[in-house]
Amino acid sequence: MTATLPKPPADADVLVAGAGPAGLALACALADAGLSVLLLEQQARAALDAPADDGREIALTHRSRRVMQALGLWQRLPPQAIAPLREARVLNGDSTTPLCIGAADGAAEELGWLVPNHHIRAAALGAAMSRAQVRLLCDARVVALESGPTAAQVTLADGRVFRAALVVAADSRMSQTRRMAGIGASMHDFGRSAILGRVAHSRPSDAIAWECFRHGNTLALLPLNDRLASAVVTLPSDQAPQWMALDDAAFAARVQGQSAECLGAMQAVGPRHLYPLVGVYSHRFAAPRVALIGDAAVGMHPVTAHGWNFGLYGVEVLARELKAARQAGRDIGALAVLQAFEAEHRRTTLPIYLGTQALVSLFTDERSWARLARRGVLAVAGRAPLLAGLIKAGIARQLTGMNGSLLARAWER
């Protein structure tokens, strides 16, 4: 990857490959730190201006809300699209008695908030475009990357070339830029898929999220405003086509049946979306003149609701390190600068990435020992306060990535 490059002037301080929510939020943070940014995005501008509803309801922590407020993203969200999350309840097997995880575990009234991903994308675009230091080039697919002693250079599919002191890969969990930087990643294919669909329900949700670990599949019901919920069915991938082919009435009936009627009668609203579940953890988050953020660094199991929260955390840490380097007159592409970001981001994300995998495995394994272990875990959680706190924290994280849990408090340092 190393080459001797001629020295035309840089096109910006930082090139960011990918104008998804992570790339856009980073552009905002870097601009506020006094750096200029050129975003390179493969999609057309029209697709960014009116992002399609992808069915994802993103659970946001208190920390994420604070970061989004500081970057001016939160203020751009339509208020009616922000749904509070006050409590989570877990049902296991055929049980109708839930384990309850409430805001009482923390100081705040809400555990977190749910916001549709396409609104986050639109808000991030608006915030980035309001900063003079940020430029966006669409129809710009990055196909090559070279790193030299004083600059890195990317080449687009149409042959155009851009240079900067630093290139940031924000081009999703299957990041091509990561690969071009010679950085590998550990991938875990869960062999399962998530089907997302909205349902209207007859009983109020009271801002409670439900997670029902049924035999064969899990069902999460995420509370939205106006008596709507997002149903997330996680099941072995070979069963997904059958669920996707159900008509609306049959889908709503299945969801209602598995929910122990917790939200009353249900009707399907809008299309369903299918996501194969693959976790990705990059071997490194930094190389000379290259850094990784968002899903390109850590692609979480989606049901655990961490991806964007981790993305924002990475944005915060990387921007802080680059700002300090610039103020100290250091090279922002130097490996030592980027390694400080890498060390902190790894320390924060790796335990939760691994812990999430373990929890997902336990709560989706249908072998009899795993069913027993699940029952035991939840039974203990109901009695022993300290252990209960830890278990609830883990489950709470899995459900929502929310504030108010022990893990979250460690994360919210």
Ligand X SMILES: Cc1cc2nc3c(=O)[nH]c(=O)nc-3n(C[C@H](O)[C@H](O)[C@H](O)COP(=O)(O)OP(=O)(O)OC[C@H]3O[C@@H](n4cnc5c(N)ncnc54)[C@H](O)[C@@H]3O)c2cc1C
Q: Which helix (H) or strand (E) holds 310?
A: helix 307-327
Are 381 and 387 a contacting pair, CB within 8 Å? yes
Residues 6+ apart with CB under 8 A from 217: 233, 234, 235, 236, 239, 258
404 near ligand X, rule: CB under 6 A: no
Least distance to ligand X, CB of residue 315, Å: 10
CA distance 152 to 166: 6
Burial label for 367, CB within 10 Å (0-12, 13-18, 19+), is exposed
Helix axes 385-400, 335-364, angle to 10 degrees: 110
Task: Return the range that interacts with ligand X (CB under 6 A); candidates 36-44, 79-87, 261-269, 337-345.
Answer: 36-44
403 near ligand X, rule: CB under 6 A: no
Can you tell me which of 282, 309, 356, 405 binds ligand X, judged by CB under 6 A? 309
Q: Which is nearer to ligand X, 201 or 272 (CB)?
A: 272
CA distance 165 to 152: 6
Least distance to ligand X, CB of residue 137, Å: 9
Q: Which is nearer to ligand X, 117 or 147 (CB)?
A: 117
Can you tell me which of 12, 59, 85, 360 binds ligand X, judged by CB under 6 A? 59
Residues 6+ apart with CB under 8 A from 400: 59, 85, 88, 111, 112, 209, 305
CA distance 55 to 270: 9
Q: Which is nearer to ligand X, 110 or 326 (CB)?
A: 110
Can you tell me which of 163, 201, 306, 374 binds ligand X, judged by CB under 6 A? 306
For residue 228, count other CB atoms closer than 10 A to its CB: 18
In the complex, residue closest to ligand X by CB: 20
Tell me, residue by residue from 176 to 205, as one string, x for binding to ligand X by CB under 6 A and - for no binding.
Answer: x-----------------x-x---------
165 near ligand X, rule: CB under 6 A: no
294 near ligand X, rule: CB under 6 A: yes
CA distance 172 to 296: 5
Can you tell me which of 308, 313, 353, 363 binds ligand X, judged by CB under 6 A? 308
Angle CA(332)–CA(333)–CA(336) in degrees, nearest 5? 85
- Owner of token pair 């670990």: 213
237 near ligand X, rule: CB under 6 A: no
Can you tell me which of 16, 23, 103, 394 binds ligand X, judged by CB under 6 A? 23
CA distance 219 to 304: 13
Can you tell me which of 12, 15, 16, 19 binds ligand X, judged by CB under 6 A? 19
Can you tell me which of 11, 18, 266, 333 binds ligand X, judged by CB under 6 A? 18
141 near ligand X, rule: CB under 6 A: yes
Closest CA to 136 of 73, 42, 35: 42
Tell me, residue by residue from 251 to 290, as one string, x for binding to ligand X by CB under 6 A and - for no binding.
Answer: ------------------------x---------------
Can you tell me which of 13, 41, 105, 211 binds ligand X, judged by CB under 6 A? 41
Chain residues in the site for ligand X (CB under 6 A): 17-23, 40-43, 56, 58-59, 117, 141-142, 170-172, 176, 194, 196, 275, 294-295, 302, 305-309, 311, 401
